[in-house]
Amino acid sequence: MLIDIIWDLDDEPQGNVQHIAEHGVTKDEVEDVLHNPRNPTVESRSSGNPTTFGYTTTGRHLAVIWERVSDSPLIAYPITAYDVPEPR
């Protein structure tokens, strides 16, 4: 999916970059998942935010939870990302 991504400053203590880093995930890995149009996106059961599942170029299978900032163009603000089991 063609998507623009909003990132906080890398050193922002409460920012999204730091939050994904707490799970050992990088910005590039989040972008790998969000930029792949074949990756499924579902609504998070807990937050209601979109959650996209997909593989990174490093081979990890991630869930990326994000907020929809705009529809046209599609702009996403990643909230968190973490490893999930591979689909069966």
- DSSP for residue 88: -
Q: How much of the chain exceeds pLDDT 90, in percent?
A: 83
What pLDDT score was predicted for residue 2?
A: 59
Is residue 69 pLDDT above 90, yes or no? yes
- CA–CA distance, 56 with 11 (Å, rounded to integer): 23
- CA–CA distance, 49 with 47 (Å, rounded to integer): 5
DSSP string, 10-40: TT-TTSHHHHHHTTT--HHHHHHHHH-TTS-
Is residue 19 pLDDT above 60, yes or no? yes
Global pTM exceeds 0.95: no
What pLDDT score was predicted for residue 53?
A: 97
What pLDDT score was predicted for residue 1?
A: 57
Average pLDDT over residues 70-77: 91
The CA-to-CA distance between both ends of the chain, in Å, stands at 23
φ/ψ bin of 79: left (φ > 0), alpha (ψ from -120 to 50), beta (otherwise): alpha
